[in-house]
Amino acid sequence: MSETFTMAMENLPPDVSSQIITACQLIYGIPSFVLMVYFLIVLGYKNNYTNSFYRLVQIGLLVNISCSLNSWFATRLEKHPSCVFILKFIESIVPGALTIVKYLTYFYMHIQFLSITAMSIHRMFTVIFPLRFELICSKWYPAIGVSFFVYSHLPKLLWPGFTFRVNIQDGQLVKVKYNSVYTEAININAIFSIIYFILILTVGIVTVILITKELKSLFSKISPAYAFISDLSIATEKISKKLTRMALTYCFLYTGILLWSVVSSIDSNFPFLPSFIVNNNFVLLTFLSDIMTLALPYILLVFDSNIRQDILRKRQNQVISVVATSGLS
């Protein structure tokens, strides 16, 4: 394999399959994107979302919104010859911008993991240490977001240079792929993907166990005067099942990126995939990325009673206030 692969991004023949794929992605992508922006705004100004958990949700929404936008400039628009002029204009105005957006596809893998895990950890500690943890998170959540940003760039230090460079040569927009760097980056990110999957699953399981245990202990001490809790064991079981479903949902969403990273790593070292799959590798990545990137508003609607009640105008009973403010009821 040669060390580099250079391709002119302009004047490519139209690809009907890419146009169909883009149309499909726009059909589900636009409403999902609008929903994320709507949630980001609503969680910021409504008084019933002052809990620090929703600040972490806002970080997650902001990450996913920017990730979705970045993916169009990093991988999607270049598949459409009629849209390459947009990329060329950006590169002419800000040289090196397209190289950065291609690098950011790795960055978002790490920061999305952090945002998912942070929400699970928050649920756990909000129930175990409700007042103290809430004060800490409310004060330090901007620093948490900054630390996520810094950490997600650190894995880049493990491989030299960029996997792709995009620039304008002789009036043409050109993409250069550095094969050895790409292979090294894919291998490293495959390892991170496996670690992240294990951590997401572990945090989810530990959260279910600890919160269920804490709620049983808490409910056992509640006075009979709390008549609105008709059956404490049923309430506890309901919350436990919801947390379990949430943990499995996050694992499912991350499975696609995990498999893509691992299979791509194996194929880059020991080629075995059919040429059709290899040629459409990044198209597959965009779909898998969409599954994880666009899912958060729907997860909130399904699992968070506060948001569901507010958005869908449904009246639901709450178990106790400390559980409700964490979106667990």
Q: Is 187 helix (H, G, I), strand (E, B) or coil?
A: helix
CA distance 228 to 244: 25
280 backbone dihedrals φ, ψ, rounded to 5°: -110, 25
168 backbone dihedrals φ, ψ, rounded to 5°: -105, 120
CA distance 13 to 68: 26
Q: Tens digits of per-residue pLDDT, 63-80?
A: 999 999 999 999 889 888
Antiparallel, parallel or unpaired: β 172-178 and 164-169: antiparallel
- Taking alpha carbons only, the member of 312, 297, 304 closest to residue 40 is 297
- 68, 294 Cβ separation under 8 angstroms: yes
Residue 319 pLDDT: 43
Question: What superfamily would CATH give domain 14-159+184-318?
Answer: Rhodopsin 7-helix transmembrane proteins (1.20.1070.10)
Residue 239 pLDDT: 66
- 90, 73 Cβ separation under 8 angstroms: yes
Residue 219 pLDDT: 62
Residue 174 pLDDT: 93
- 173, 88 Cβ separation under 8 angstroms: yes
CA distance 263 to 259: 6
| Contacts for 282 with CB less than 8 Å, ≥ 6 apart | 75
Residue 321 pLDDT: 46
Residue 318 pLDDT: 42
Residue 257 pLDDT: 82
Residue 79 pLDDT: 84
- pLDDT less than 50: residues of the chain: 1, 223, 227, 229, 314-324, 326, 329
CA distance 43 to 61: 10
Q: Tens digits of per-residue pLDDT, 89-132?
A: 999 999 999 999 999 999 999 999 999 888 888 877 877 776 77
- 148, 114 Cβ separation under 8 angstroms: yes
Output the six-digit token pair for 253: 């969403």
